[in-house]
Amino acid sequence: MKGFIHLISTLACITLAAANAPGWPFDVTEINAPDGSVKAKFVSLGATMTELWVKDRDGNARDVILGYDDNTLLLTDPDHPVFNAIVGRYANRIKNGTFSIPTTKEAQPPGAGVWQLPTNDHDGEVTLHSSDYGWDRKNWTVHSRSPTSVTYKYVDPAGEDGQGFPGEVTVYATHEVSNGVLRSSVLAHATEKTPIMTTQHVYWNLDAFQNGGDTALNHYLTLDASRIVHLDGNAIPYGDFIETSGTIFDFKNGKMIGENFNQTVDNCGTGCQGFDHCWIYDQSETRRAGTSLWSNNSGIRVDISTNQPAVQMYTAYWLNTPRKEVHGGPSLVYDSWSAVAIEQQGYVDAVNTPEWNVNQIYGPREDYEWSATYKFSIVDA
């Protein structure tokens, strides 16, 4: 009911906004690297990046992320692809929308310490990205900004009576650019013990749909990882891992995303061709792993480093949304494999997988920190 009232009041705002420029009623911020190598635009809804311009090998700037020309669709597009937003309070999937504190295997609501979220995926058996109205669809305030950075703030209220998440969370998301680099980071403080696991859900097409670069299948990808989470038919972890060496999931030494692509039929769920999996980075206290993505078509390469232990890679099978004008829209649409979503994050549904011993419960004495650094360069032809 609460969600419903929220939706109504939000729609009322949009109706009032109709006469204004696209992007309203959300605050729009543009930031620029001093040398002009990186330009990014954001809206306050979801602290979302809406444009990201970097230079190709000929020195021409291209917008390398998906999105809308009318950013009110971030809130209203029923397909809800979550274009480039900060996702929370808990990104990715939660089995049955339930969890308990402390973490147990099969939390059964109602019960002491058991919480229930609205479910929105796999016929109500899963909560995806904290339901249809998670952080990515909240209007954050602008906390501070400069020509090279913007910081957004959102206060996520506490749930009650076992519904939602426990405790109020105050979260800041900062996006900043320097020469050749974009860095995004999240800092969150909770008043009570609660799960927190965020991501930035960036959809990349490094060709920006130019010169025949209509999919990301021609992009090369390195994931510095030797294991993926073993998922059931609802994309929920069984609790074990699959070694990727010698399998279609092996991106450790870099390969074209579309290589052996005909072996990926039904690989991301029934009827879904491609990938939608969580890779566990090969990293340790002393060694940081990461992701690299590049296209020889545009020559654009991005190297991503993070403080996160895992990365979700989704080849965007289910997309079906009119493209931005700079990408050939609105007559052409973003559809299967138009982009690859790369989401730096924690272990999927560790809040229901106690055997991993991965703590995702934060509280008054333990703040949550997330970061990703995107470094752009040009590949040799």
Ligand X SMILES: *[C@@H]1O[C@H](CO)[C@@H](O)[C@H](O)[C@H]1NC(C)=O
Q: Which positions touch ligand X (CB under 6 A)? A: 13, 25-27, 44, 96, 98, 106, 108-109, 116, 139, 141-142, 262, 296, 381
The pairing of strands 333-334 and 321-322 is antiparallel
C-alpha 220/C-alpha 336 separation (Å) is 17
50 within 8 A of 85, measured Cβ to Cβ? no
Return the number of the residue (26 or 347) whose C-beta is nearest ligand X. Answer: 26
Return the number of the residue (98 or 226) whose C-beta is nearest ligand X. Answer: 98
Return the number of the residue (114 or 242) whose C-beta is nearest ligand X. Answer: 114
Min. distance of Cβ 290 from ligand X in angstroms? 23
- Give residue number: closest CB to ligand X: 25
Min. distance of Cβ 381 from ligand X in angstroms? 4
Min. distance of Cβ 5 from ligand X in angstroms? 15
Q: Which residues contact 20 (CB under 8 A, 6 or more apart)?
A: none
Return the number of the residue (109 or 309) whose C-beta is nearest ligand X. Answer: 109
Give the 3-state DSSP-derived string for 1-24, with helices as H, strands as E and coil as C: CHHHHHHHHHHHHHHHHCCCCEEE
Return the number of the residue (26 or 83) whose C-beta is nearest ligand X. Answer: 26
Alpha-carbon distance values, 138 to 11, 88, 122, 149, 320 (Å): 13, 10, 23, 20, 23
Return the number of the residue (70 or 371) whose C-beta is nearest ligand X. Answer: 70
Min. distance of Cβ 109 from ligand X in angstroms? 4
Helix, strand and coil in the chain, % to nearest 5: 10, 40, 50
Return the number of the residue (35 or 58) whose C-beta is nearest ligand X. Answer: 58
H helix runs in 88-190, sequence order = none
Tokens of 81: 């692809």
H helix runs in 18-150, sequence order = 73-76
Report which residue type is found at 196. Answer: I
Tokens of 267: 């690989």
Min. distance of Cβ 285 from ligand X in angstroms? 35
Q: Judge residue 281's burial from the number of C-beta atoms within 10 Å of its C-beta, 0-12 exposed, 13-18 middle, 19 or more buried.
A: buried
Which residue carries 């009032």 as its tokens?
16
Tokens of 370: 């997330």
C-alpha 120/C-alpha 100 separation (Å) is 19
Min. distance of Cβ 143 from ligand X in angstroms? 9
Min. distance of Cβ 311 from ligand X in angstroms? 25
Return the number of the residue (195 or 290) whose C-beta is nearest ligand X. Answer: 195
Tokens of 40: 């990014």
For residue 181, report the phi and psi dihedrals to the nearest 5 degrees. Answer: -140, 135
Min. distance of Cβ 131 from ligand X in angstroms? 14
Return the number of the residue (232 or 369) whose C-beta is nearest ligand X. Answer: 232
Min. distance of Cβ 26 from ligand X in angstroms? 5
CB 323: neighbour CB atoms within 10 A?
A: 23
